[in-house]
Structure 1
C-alpha cells in the first residue's frame, strides 16, 4: 500500500513538472497538439496539458538582423558588389502570424535564403537598367526599391521590415581605376573653367579700373584747363583794365599815353633778361623796330580805351 502511494505521488509530480513551461523574455512559445498548431505561450510561467500538448518552438519577437552580400550587373556589364543589413521583426502575436513564422519555413536557414533571394532580385532588377557611373548616386533609390519589394514579401511570411541599409558598394579594381581617371579628368576640366572665369573677372576688373582712371584723369585735366583758361582770361581782363586806367590817368595829367607802352616795352626786355635762364630771346632793338612796336601797342591801347562822345555844339 505504501509503495503504491509513492508511485502515484511520483507520477503526479512528473505530470506537474512536465506541464510547467517557462518562456524566455522577448520570445513566444508555439504550442502544438498532436502535431497541429494549438496556441501561443507568452513570456513567463506557462502550463500545458501533459503528453497531449507540446512546445514546438520558441519564436523571437525582438528585432532581428541579417547581413547579406551579393553581386549585381549593370547595363554596361560592370560587376557591383553590395553589402546590406536588414532589420526585421515578427509582425504580431496573432495565431495566423505565429503559424506563418513557425511553420512556413523548415528552419531559420531556409528563411534567410529566401530573404536574401528577394533582396538580390529587387536590387539586380534596378541595377541592370543603370550605367556603372550612376550606381553610386542611386543608393537611396536602390534602397527604396528593395524596401518596397521586401516589405510586401516579408509581410506575407509574418514578418515586418524595420529597416534596410546598403553598407557598401564596390566595383571591380579595373572599374574603380577607370572611374578614378574619369573623376580626375572632370575635376581638371572644372578647375580649368574656374581658372578661366577667375582670369576673366580679373582682366575685366583691371580694364574697368583703367577706364575709370583714364576717365577721372581726363575729367581732372578738363577742369584744370578750364580753370587755367578762366585765370588767363581774368588776368588779361585785369591787365587791360589797368593799362586803360593808367593811360587815362596820364592823359588827364597832360602826359603822352605812349609812355605806358614804352614802360611795358622796357619791362618786357628787363624780365626777359632776368628770367631767361640762359635761353636766347631775339628782340628788334633798333629805333625803327621800337617805333613799330610802340605803334602796335598804341593801337592795342586804342582798341581797349572806351570812346567818349564829344558834346554837341547845341549843348
Structure 2
C-alpha cells in the first residue's frame, strides 16, 4: 500500500513538474487549450496546466533579416538582377500582435515565401515602368516603393519593416558593355567640349590682352608725340627768343646782326660734322648760297622781333 502511495506521489510530482515552462529572453510562447488560443507566456519560468494547456509555438521578438535574389524586366526589355536585404521584427508584444504572428501562417516557411514574393512583385512592377538607363539612379525610389506597399501588409501579419537595402543591381553582360561605351563616349564628348571652351577662353583672353597692349601702346605713342611736339615747339620758341635777344643786344652795340647769323651757320656746320655719324648732308657753301641763307635767317629773326 505504501508503495502505491509512493508511486502516485512520484507521478503527481512529475505531472506538476511537467507544467513548468521556460521561455528564453527574446521569445514569447503561445499557450492553447485543446487547440484554442489561451494566453501568452513572457520570458522566464511560467506554469501551465499539464495535459490541458499546451505550448503551441515560441515566437522570436528579436530583429530578423532575410536576403533575396531575383530578376526583373525593364520597360525596354532589359534583364535586371537584384540582391536585397530586409530587416524586420514583430511590431510589439501585445496580445493581438502575437496572435497575428502565431496564426496568420501555417508555418515560418509559408510566411517567408509570402514576404519574399511580395517584395519581388513590388520591385518588378516598379521596374517594368522604367527604362534600363534609369534603374541605377532610382535605387532610393525603388526602396520607397517597397516600403509604401509592404508596410501595411506586414502590419496585418504582425510585423514591421525596419529597413531594406538593395545591395546589388546588375544587368546582362551585353548591356553593361553598352552602358560602359555610352559613358565613355559621353566622357569624351564632355572632354572635347571642355577643351574647346578652354581654347576659346585662352584665345579670347589673348586677343583681349593683345588689344589692350595695342591700345596702351597707341595711347603711349600719342602722348609721346604730343610731348615731342610740345618739346620742339618750346625749343623753337626759346631759340627764337634767344636769337631776338641776341639781335637786340648786337643792335644796341651797333654791330651787324649778320654776324650772329654767320656764327649760327658755322655752329650748325660744326654740329653736323661732330654728330653726323657718316651721313651725307648737302649744303650750298657758295657765296651766293651763304648770303641767301643768312638773309632767310635774318628775316626769321625780324619776324620774331615783331612778335
Q: Which 5+ residue runs of structure 1 have no aligned equivalent?
A: 308-315
The CA RMSD measured in Å over matched residues stands at: 1.1
CA deviation after TM superposition for structure 1 residue 273, in Å: 2.4
Q: Secondary structure at the match of 1:49?
A: coil
Equivalent-residue separation in structure 1 for 2:276 and 2:196 (angstroms): 59
Alignment-derived partner of residue 282 in structure 2? 282
Q: Secondary structure at the match of 1:71?
A: strand
Alignment-derived partner of residue 76 in structure 1? 76
Q: Secondary structure at the match of 2:37?
A: strand
Equivalent-residue separation in structure 2 for 1:95 and 1:291 (angstroms): 141
Alignment-derived partner of residue 103 in structure 1? 103
Normalization by structure 1: what TM-score? 0.95
Q: Secondary structure at the match of 1:282?
A: coil
Per-residue CA deviation, residues 139-184 of structure 1 (Å, 9 max, x unaligned), is 0000000011111111111111111111110101111111111111
Per-residue CA deviation, residues 89-135 of structure 1 (Å, 9 max, x unaligned), is 11122222222211211211111110011101110111001010000
Residue 13 (structure 2) pairs with residue 5 (structure 1) = no
Q: Which 5+ residue runs of structure 2 have no aligned equivalent?
A: none
Q: Secondary structure at the match of 1:50?
A: coil
Alignment-derived partner of residue 128 in structure 1? 128
Runs of 4+ in 1 over 4 A off after TM superposition: none
Aligned length: 307
CA deviation after TM superposition for structure 1 residue 58, in Å: 0.4
Alignment-derived partner of residue 187 in structure 1? 187
Equivalent-residue separation in structure 1 for 2:277 and 2:201 (angstroms): 53
Alignment-derived partner of residue 313 in structure 1? none
Normalization by structure 2: what TM-score? 0.97
Q: Secondary structure at the match of 2:277?
A: coil
Alignment-derived partner of residue 40 in structure 1? 40
Q: Does 111-120 or 224-233 show the bigger shift?
A: 224-233
Per-residue CA deviation, residues 175-207 of structure 1 (Å, 9 max, x unaligned), is 111111111111111111111111111111111
